[in-house]
Every structure is written in C-alpha cells, then in structure tokens.
Amino acid sequence: MALELNDYNSKYTPTWCPGCGNFGIHVALKKALMELNVHPSETFISFDIGCNGNGADTVGTYAFKTLHGRSIPVAIGAHLANRKFTVIADIGDGGCYHEGLDHIVNAIKSNYDITILIHNNMNFALTTGQATVTTPVGKKMYALPKGKPERDLDTNAFLMSLKPTFFAKGYSGDLPLLTEIIKKAIQHKGCSIVDISQLCPTYNKECNPEWFNNNIIKIDSLENYSNKSIDDANDLVKEMAKTKKIYTGIIYMNDSVPTFYDNLDSRKGIISEISEEVKEYNIKDLLKYCN
Amino acid sequence: MNSNRLAVKFGGASGQGINTAGRMLTQSINRTGLYTFSTREYPSLIKGGIASYQVDVSNKEIFSSKRKYQILCTMSEASFHKYLPNLSENGVIIHDGEEMELTPEEEIHIQKNNLHIVYLHSEKIALENGGTEIMGNAVLLGFIWKLLKQDPQILVEEVLEMLSGKDIDTEAETKCLLAGYNHPLYREELSHGIQLPTSAGTHRSLLITGNEAIALGALAAGMRAFYGYPMTPATSIFKFLGDTAHQSKIVIKQAENEITAALMSMGSMYMGTRALTATSGGGFDLMIETISCCGMSETPLVVVLAQRIGSGTGVPTWTGSGDLYTAVKGGHGDFPRCVISVSDATSCFSLIQKAFNIADKFQLPVILLSEKQIAESIYSVEKLPKVEKIDRNVVSPSKRYEITDSGISPRWIPTKGLQPYIHTSDEHTEDGHSTEEEVEVKAMSDKRLRKVTSLKNEIPEPTLYGNPNSDIVFVGYGSTKNALLDTIQLNENISYLHFDYIYPLKADKVQHLLNDGKRVILLENNQDGQFGKLLAEETGIKLKEQYLKYDGRAFSIDDILDYLNR
C-alpha cells in the first residue's frame, strides 16, 4: 500500500503560531520520507526543546523529544543501535549553536549517517524572543531594549570549516525545494546538515515572506556552480557573508568520506545491528585480557 | 600480625615500573595456589611523585590491604621515607639505590623493630647480566622471591608467560630474575620475619580488577555499545572494552564529553540495544540532565559512577564514596531510579547484569556506584559467579505509557512494522502526547513513582556477614565490605550488614539489629555519613555511632580493630 502524508502524522494538531515556518518544514520532511518510501516505523526523529521540539507531538514515526540542544547525540545513539532506521535530528538555532554547539561539531567530524535539520528562526522563540548567534547585531530582543550587543556568527562559514560531507540551506516557505533537499540529505551516506531559514512571524517580523523572497537566491539558478566543488562552496559562503543573501539548495556534498560506523574496526563484516544482538555473551575467551 | 597473611609493598615514582613489578609478583604468587589482593596508589601525574603497589597474600580469599607489610621494595628516596614507618617487625626493606641517610626517628624505628635494609643496585646488576635498565625490576623480583623462599622456576615461568608476545630478550630477563634470586646480599636471617602462608593447593585464581569485572559483566548481559569519556577511576572499563572490541564486536566510541556519552547511551537504549557509559563524579554531574530525562521519558539507562574523593576535582586518584547523594538525589524533578553499589570484583560482575535487567524491566536510570578502591584493585577470584538471565520485559505494542498498578508500562523495541511511539521529556499522556492538564500530570507522575515500590519488592535484603550472634554489627556499602570481611575472619564478635542496593532502600534488618540491642556502627568512606542520612530519611532509623573515613584511603582491618580498641 502506497504511503500517504497522513501516515507520518499523529492524531494531534500542531500548536505553532499561524504562519510559523515549522508547518512548512514538517510537511517537507514528511513528504520527503513518503517520496523515498521510508515507512514511519523505520523512521526515528529526535527533537530539541523549543518551538521545533513541539513538533514531536505531531509525528507518527518513532521519536524522542529530548532536551534543549541535545537532539543530535540521541539521534546518533539511535542510529548506531540500528542503521536500518532513517534517523533525523531536529534542532533549533538556539539548541544547535548555543546549548549543544559541541554536538554538531562532532557529528560532522565523525560523519554519522544521520540528517540534521536546523530550524533557524534567528531567535529563541518559545522563551519569547531572546537573541541567538544568528540574530543580527543591534536588533532589539527580549531583555535587550538597546539591541543585541554582540556580533552575529557566520554559521555558514562555521559549518563549512568543519568539512561537512553534506551541507544545504533551505527555506520554510519553499516547500518543493526543501523537500528535494531533505530527500537528498536522507539519501546521502554521512552526516547531512540542512540549515533551514524559517519564518517566525511573532519574534522575527522583519524577515517576512517578502523579505525572504528578496533575499533568497536559488543555487540552481547559478551558472557553473558545482556542489561537488569545495572551492565553489567556500566561495559561495563568502559571498553570503558579503552580500547577506541566502543561497538555498545543496551547497556542498561529498560521498567519498566513510561514515563513523564504516570506519569502526570492531564492526567490519558484521551485517546485524546491535539492537538485534542483545543476548547472553560468553566471556570465557576474554578472561585472558584481565589484569 | 595474623600469621595467615603477608604483604609486599613496592614504592617509587610514577613511571618507574612499580606496576609491572607488582603485577609480576601478584601473578607469580597466584601460580603457587595462594590468594592475593593487590592495590595501587598513585598521584595524579604521569612521571614522578610517590606511587605504590601492595600485594597482600593469604591462603584464604582476601579483599583488602593490611596497613603493615613484611617486605618493602623502594625505587626512590621519597618512597623509602614515606613507606618505612609501616614496615612491620623483622621486615626487610630492599632499596634500589645508594645507601640512604636516615633520620634519627628512622634509626630508632629500624632498631626497635629489627628491620633489615638491603641496598641493591638493580640496574647495574641487570646490565651486568646482559639485560636492559628496565630489567632492574626483574632483579628486585628475584631477590624478593628468594626472601619468600619460593621456587625460582615458578617466577621465571610466570614472568616469561606475562612477557610473551612482547619484544623482550627473554634470556636476559631470565638471567636478571635469577641474578636477583641468587644475589650474595641475601642471608638467611633476612627471611626470619617473613613467612608466606602455606598454599592450599595449586589452583590458579582469576586475577581481576573491579572495572574489568564490570566490563565483563556488561558484555555477559548483552551490552553492545559503550560510550566513554576518560575520567579516573572509571577509564579502565573503557580500556578493557576497547582492547577487546575486536573480539566482542561491540560499538565503542569516545564521546566528545560525558553529556554526549550519556545521551548516546539513552538513544541506543531507546532503540533497543544495551549500551553503557562510565564516569566519575565530575562527569556524572554532566550526565544528570540525561538521567532526569530518562526518568521522565522512562528510557532505560545504566551509568557506572566510579567514585573518588572530594568535590570539584578533589583528589583524583584516591578513593571515597562521597557521591552517594548525587547518585540518589541528583537531577531535577521527581523520578524513579535505582542505585546499586558494587563492593568487589564478583559483585561488579553480577550487579552490572542486575543493573541492565532492572533498567530494561523498570524503564528507568540505574546508577552503579563503584569506588577507586574497587575499580582498580586486583582481586583473586576463584571463579566468577553464574551469569544472570537476561530479563528485558519486552511486550507487544499497546499504549507506551499506559497507566498500570505496577507503574511499568508496555515497552517494545522499535521495529519496522510495529506501531511507532514517542519517548518524551515533557510530561505526557498514555500515548506520549505532552500534557499540562493537572489530572494527567499527577496521574502520570504517580504511575512513574509506583515503579519504586515495584522495584523495592524485587530487590533483595541486605546481607549479614559473620557471626549472627556477635555483639557488634557494622553497617555499610561499597568497599567497606572488603575490610570487614577480612576483619570478621579475625574477630568472632563482629558481624557486618552489607547493602548492595542503596535505592530503593530495604532496611528492616537494621531495625532488627537495633531491637536486638546490638552495638550498630555505621561505616562510610565519606565525611557526611551520606548512607546514614539516607537511611534516616527513608526509614527513620538513626545510627548514632559512625566511623567515617574521608582521607582518600579505603578502610583496612587495622582501622576497624583500632576503632574498636579505642
């Protein structure tokens, strides 16, 4: 029986603000899974805390609503336990670039075969609009009536500096492209990072659909751009920093880097998953390693 | 001195090879059919300082070090001065180096106790015998073996077996061992105070540290992933599992920090495998948000907390049990958990298996408390206990958080084709949907806490060791058991009530002892008497007499007897 979008939904309706970018991101994710024919019961999504995390109630897949900033290591643990599952880590820009920054660094370095979706709304929304590193300098935010005093972080350059094997940027208002990006991210064997610019009509009013339409350039429209070229990718990231434009699409992908599990010496040649291997193990042959 | 025991202590600077010498002596003695207990003391640095390796020997199973030793072998001046005062009457000190300048107190001590000093230039002797400088340790071992009046062939065989596969000139090694054994400085009177107990037979025990026993127990219980991050004294669990992963085929990963190690474990456990992480106090603090999350989301988790002494960085390489509170109480919110305390190698092996069964069955975090003294000491074990049956309580899909009388809800392993479910750190309904409704919040919270009662019904009572008619009963947990079991062998008027299970706490037996009019003494390796306070909180029983030791050293037989003789 063919899968339908509704198969990926729970019976609960979302609680996001009208016009929230999370609606679009969720539809794109579910559509991507459906079009790839990945069954809800072979999908695991780990959620951050925050507006994106509240999406946990709406999915019909296996899922874990974890802790603020912690969805990535939980996804990794699940992935290593059973690689038959498609594993998604869902996280906000606050969780990703603040509370759990070390996790994305190490996930990229180790190249686990998971997909990380960053819901980037340029603020901490569920706690009512505090600044994140992606909030522009000088912008007035919660508890900052005179504006955010620090510089913002060039997250594109930061992520590229980690040598990801898949890095894409999407926009919550462009469902067809975002769906395609997520499909490619899931299909990529390795750690896929998708930084998704998302509408936040409550705490980031300036960046409305019109603003995004004026500031987004699709990578597909560029002539002679190769997402297999690290030089093209780095040039594009520099261009984004200079022009403040958002380029959506797959910035870089490299299929030649082995995943963490592929490099794990102890698992070479084993086809079963460790979630299938919990049984009494005879330790007799290991006693000689004692003391 | 108890004639059934003897001890040899090596002292020196870290990096001088005292561990190798200690291990070689332990293994060689083990080959004679005797039992050993070996423990290392070392500073938190790589080279230098004062470190020691003490090998206690008996013809019965022993679990602790005596304060005094009959043979002391020192490789640095500092260790000579540090360890000389506890050399027992008629003892021998073999100092590797020039003749020492003795303090007046040392002169008196040596005279009064009839101590013998032998200065042996081990490196020089090793070089003369075709060995390298590092083979000086073989010379010292050979000399000690002569003092113990043991067959040199056993020593040579054992040492060569230990060195097999290593790039070492075995002929030179043998010559060095025998050069020490046959050294002209040996004279008969040196051995007068040294009597190795008569061996019970020729069996060889398994020599195993607490950490190795935890690693093996975890593997036996079907653990298939280990997520580590280095922190003494937990690190050698990681090492053992890493060194054997080519055989056990587990997933092994050094995480970026303890936060990640715990979260990865949680993710793997959700997905249905058995995963483990191990740390010490500071790392455990970082894991606490995950432990709290496991409490709410009802995700099984097993964490080994190998304690050292002190808050902050504390005294990183020394023992203690001051993390009981954080194990029992750490974490925000009310949630059920289980805290189990290991005490020696065999209990490490068995209790880690229990920990996995409890975590799976009751779907909660289990903290396995250990201590540096247990983690790194080398026990000689006749045979490891029988392996526990794996009990996971995996059932067919229904409501993941169904409200039940036992508090235990149905859990099934995420599998393609089986109804998906969510685990959540939000308070939730029976189907895992987040809720803020007062009735639902309370009902689910009550359900979770009922697991504590269910678990309490399943865990065993504490164990009474020794003469049940004795007047004096010590009460404790963890490594205190080791000194007490050894003391009980000497004093029939002492018994010991030992707790493996710290939380939930089953303590009726303590009340019975008090009712019987016994002198009940709480024994703990921390400053606050944390177990005593927990006991009072959980049962209302207050143990007035307490013997607390928090200097980084484990209890010894001597401590216990001194305390009673005060």
- Please write down the HEC assignment for all residues of B374-441: HHHCEEEECCCCCCCCCCCCCCCCCCCCCCCCCCCCCCCCCCCCCCCCEEECCCECCCCCECCCHHHH
Predicted confidence (pLDDT) at residue A271 exceeds the cutoff of 60 = yes
Superfamily of domain B208-381: Thiamin diphosphate (ThDP)-binding fold, Pyr/PP domains (3.40.50.970)
CB contact under 8 A, A80 and B253: yes
Predicted confidence (pLDDT) at residue A117 exceeds the cutoff of 90 = yes
Give the pLDDT confidence score for residue B200 in this predicted structure: 66
Flag whether A2 is in a domain: no
Give the pLDDT confidence score for residue B3 in this predicted structure: 56
Number of domains, chain A: 1
Residue B225 with chain A: CB contacts under 8 Å: 77, 80-81, 274
CB contact under 8 A, B416 and A283: no
Q: Min CA distance, A130 vs chain B (Å)?
A: 22
Q: B residues 2-31 near A, CB within 8 Å?
A: 23, 26-27
User: Tens of pLDDT along B460-478?
Assistant: 999 999 999 999 999 999 9
Q: State whether residue B270 sits within 8 Å of chain A by CB.
A: yes
Minimal-distance CA residue of chain B relative to A57: B433
Predicted confidence (pLDDT) at residue B429 exceeds the cutoff of 80 = yes
Flag whether A1 is in a domain: no
Q: State whether residue B399 sits within 8 Å of chain A by CB.
A: no
Long-range Cβ contacts of B389-396 (<8 Å, 24+ apart): B389/A280, B390/A278, B390/A279, B390/A280, B390/B221, B390/B222, B390/B356, B390/B357, B391/B357, B391/B360, B391/B361, B392/A278, B392/B357, B392/B360, B392/B361, B393/B360, B393/B361, B394/B360
CB contact under 8 A, B212 and A102: no
> What percent of chain A clears pLDDT 90, i.e. is strictly above it?
99
Q: Min CA distance, A252 vs chain B (Å)?
A: 25
User: Tens of pLDDT along B489-529?
Assistant: 999 999 999 999 999 999 999 999 999 999 999 999 999 99
Flag whether A160 is in a domain: yes
Indicate the residue of B222, B290, B425 with minimum beta-carbon distance to A280: B222
Flag whether A101 is in a domain: yes
> What percent of chain B clears pLDDT 70, i.e. is strictly above it?
99
Q: Which amino acid is at B61?
A: E
CATH number 3.40.920.10 is the correct assignment for the domain at B5-204: yes
Query: Which CATH number characterizes residue A262's domain?
Result: 3.40.50.970
Query: Over chain A, what is the mean pLDDT?
Result: 97
Q: Min CA distance, B524 vs chain A (Å)?
A: 28
Give the pLDDT confidence score for residue B1 in this predicted structure: 40
**Cα B562 to Cα B65, B94, B493, distances in angstroms:** 15, 29, 15
Flag whether A190 is in a domain: yes
CB contact under 8 A, A106 and B421: no
**Cα B443 to Cα A54, B215, B302, B448, distances in angstroms:** 22, 38, 26, 9
Domain enclosing residue A256, as ranges: 10-289
Q: Min CA distance, B514 vs chain A (Å)?
A: 42
User: Tens of pLDDT along A170-182?
Assistant: 999 999 999 999 9
For chain B, what are the domain ranges? Answer: 5-204, 208-381, 394-459, 463-565
> What percent of chain B clears pLDDT 90, i.e. is strictly above it?
94
Confidence of residue B201 (pLDDT cuts 50, 70, 90): confident
Domains B208-381 and B463-565 belong to one CATH topology: yes
Q: State the DSSP H helix or E strand holding residue A106, giving kind and residue range, or none if neither.
A: helix A101-110
Predicted confidence (pLDDT) at residue B363 exceeds the cutoff of 50 = yes
Indicate the residue of A78, A81, A286 with minimum beta-carbon distance to B216: A286
Please name the residues in contact with B488: beta carbons below 8 A apart, sequence gap of 6 or more.
Answer: B465, B466, B467, B494, B495, B496
Flag whether A187 is in a domain: yes
Q: Min CA distance, A79 vs chain B (Å)?
A: 8
Predicted confidence (pLDDT) at residue B2 exceeds the cutoff of 90 = no
Chain A contact probe: residue of B23, B266, B411, B418 with most A CBs at under 10 A: B266
Flag whether A110 is in a domain: yes
What gap in Å lies between CA A266 and CA A258, rounded to an integer? Answer: 15
Q: B residues 173-212 near A, CB within 8 Å?
A: 206-209, 212
- CATH code matching the domain that covers B463-565, chosen among 2.40.30.30, 3.40.50.300, 3.30.1280.10, 3.40.50.920: 3.40.50.920
Flag whether A4 is in a domain: no
